[in-house]
Structure 1
Amino acid sequence: MALRARLAEFGQHPTFGPMLERLRQYALLTRIDRPIGTYLLLWPTLWALWLAAEGVPDLYVLFVFVLGTFLTRAAGCAINDFADRGIDAHVQRTSGRPLATGAIRSWEAPALAAVLLLIAFALVLTLNRLTIYLAFGAAILAAIYPFSKRFTHLPQVFLGAAFSWAVPMAFAAQTGSVPPIAWLVFTVNLLWTVMYDTIYAMADKPEDLKIGVKSTAILFGDYDRHMVGVLQLLTAVGLAMIGLRFELGGFYSAGVVVAVALFGYQQFIMHDRVPAHCFRAFLNNAWVGFAVLLGIVLDYAVSAA
């Protein structure tokens, strides 16, 4: 209780109080309080690192990619909110975001994103040349995605490419090359990302239709849940292909089975298309990525034992 009282007193200090509130708004802007996006970006990045290293990733490379994932996701949220600053106030789920409420000024979002991306790029500069070159592709995709929903019904594809670009970067950092098989992992993750972000868009579909924002959920119309099922099936087939190409065994297969079961659960809870249920189904994908990662890690660990 004493500590809580001291913190409350510190928060009311005429100098430090506003500073703490500004930091809190920056934390909200970058979704530090909602790590789902970090998980969805991190798990496939770790898939790629473990696959590229055949179970023993370089510890420094692992450190760079884990920290880089956090930084780039945070920067991406800031860029996205800057792009959507005129939209978020009209969507119930996003109306409380700092730019929508005016808690921070518009220029602060791209400025914060630039700082975070510069730190991430500084980390990349400690890796090999191919990884550095690939990082420019990641930056371009991250910049394009937030604005794509105004021009195309396929912003989920742009997000999928942005989230999947860490795969070739991981292979490049770990092995010094990007073998063709890395693009299989890239494609599978792209399919999975389009799938779960379509579910995410289904949660906002009624409001997006009113304000003119485009998405695959709107493009698919009444067949949105069916198309999600098709993407889930393609993702499952792709995960099976990864297992065959990398000669993974029973633990990986079990992880894929769990992922497929979770896909079925997602279909069940979003069958009525209630926005809150669709959002729950979207969140469930964090467990899909983790199940696949755990299968990969255990498979290599047992093989090495």
Structure 2
Amino acid sequence: MSAAEPRLPDAVADHPLWRLAPEPLRPYVQLARLDRPIGWWLLLLPCWQGSALSSAALGLPPNLFHLLLFFIGAVSMRGAGSTYNDFVDRDIDAKVERTRLRPLASGRVSPRAAIVFLILQCLVGLAVLLSFNGLTIALGFASPLIVLVYPFAKRFTSWPQAVLGLAFAYGALLGWTAQTGRLDWPAVFLYASAILWTIGFDTIYALQDKRDDAIAGVRSTALLFGAHVRLAVGALYLCSVVFAELALLAAGVGGFAQIGVGAYAAHLSWQVWRTSAAASPEVALTLFRSNRDAGLLLFAGLVAQSALLAYS
């Protein structure tokens, strides 16, 4: 591997998209985080959960077409959000050990090329959004406003993770409205659950950068919570489980959905047990990535319940 194409420290080792991509495209694979799929997973899962919850509430089978659309949309919009974030943060990223080799911070992609790439990804996301009903389209157009604020949040608040939560959890609303055509309490409760979940797992992620963030003057909940980070993440995760349970109760579903919430709660408890202010970057990254499985456990319970109700 040449010095012109460095691997980033939190990338998946030997990811096939990186391995198979022509060398000129590799910086764009990194810019869209395609070699770090955990990002689009965490954006996708609230969408899938909202869709599966609505199917279970209506007694319908899982809507596979919607699940596919949300997958395409999550990958494209995660890439667009990451490109925008790196564009805004390119000077800060150059000062942080973990991010200094990112394509924009290292100069391997020009700002102009990044903007063109950003627009192309947004067009894919727009095509997906326009496939849904009017309410979902209207809600979808509101979400970029949150994304635009996020890269600047770390400059003026110790809660940038909360802004990220508002953006990443938004799919819980869209997954529900895409099928029901209306916004109801189950979707609101699921959105609240996903926001709290996101703040928790992104706090764990931010443990990797505490030293560099403090030097660069960047704020985060990891720095805010300090030695109490385990207690804080535990409280956030507990509230996430409570709101997930409220979503089920409001939707009138149980059975496998309740098992899914229980499995989700157990996984989050394991994360809290492993979390500490002194956690190494490797442990923090492993715990952060494990949230794909936590979200899939909740989704599996919801989708199993919708299938059971539809086919019984």
Q: TM-score, normalised by structure 1?
A: 0.88
| Aligned pairs (5 A) from 1:247-258 | 247-258=252-263
Task: Answer whether contact 2:129 2:140 (CA < 8 A) is retained.
Answer: yes
Partners of 2:136 and 2:248 in 1: how far apart? Answer: 25
* Amino acid aligned to 1:21: E
Percent sequence identity over matched residues? 38
The one of 180, 192, 201 aligned to 2:197: 192
The one of 14, 23, 43 aligned to 1:41: 43
The one of 56, 62, 66 aligned to 2:61: 56
Q: Which moved more, 1:243-252 or 1:273-282?
A: 243-252
1:108 counterpart = 2:108: no
The one of 282, 294, 300 aligned to 1:294: 300
Structure having the higher helix fraction is: 1
Q: TM-score, normalised by structure 2?
A: 0.86
Partners of 1:125 and 1:300 in 2: how far apart? Answer: 25
* Amino acid aligned to 1:211: A
- Give the match for residue 73 of structure 2: 68
User: Quick one: structure 1 residues 252 and 173, their matched pair in 2 at CA, closer, same or farther if it must change by over 3 Å?
Assistant: closer
Extract structure 1 runs of 4+ deviating beyond 4 A. Answer: none
Partners of 2:180 and 2:263 in 1: how far apart? Answer: 30
Task: Answer whether contact 1:57 1:174 (CA < 8 A) is retained.
Answer: no
Which has more radius of gyration?
Answer: 1
User: Quick one: structure 1 residues 228 and 48, their matched pair in 2 at CA, closer, same or farther if it must change by over 3 Å?
Assistant: same
Partners of 2:136 and 2:245 in 1: how far apart? Answer: 27
Structure 1: which 5+ residue stretches go unaligned?
1-18
Task: Render the CA deviation track for 1:251-281: whole Å, top value 9, x for unaligned.
Answer: 2222222222222221233334222212211
Q: Which moved more, 1:159-168 or 1:118-127?
A: 118-127
Q: Which moved more, 1:113-122 or 1:206-215?
A: 113-122
Q: Which moved more, 1:50-59 or 1:69-78?
A: 50-59
**What number of residue pairs does the alignment pair up?**
287
Structure 2: which 5+ residue stretches go unaligned?
1-20
Task: Tell me the CA shift for residue 83 of structure 1.
Answer: 1.4
CA RMSD of aligned residues (A): 1.8
Q: Which moved more, 1:250-259 or 1:280-289?
A: 250-259
1:130 counterpart = 2:135: yes
Partners of 1:173 and 1:302 in 2: how far apart? Answer: 21
| Aligned pairs (5 A) from 1:104-183 | 104-183=109-188
- Give the match for residue 282 of structure 2: 276
Partners of 1:208 and 1:169 in 2: how far apart? Answer: 33
* Amino acid aligned to 2:72: L
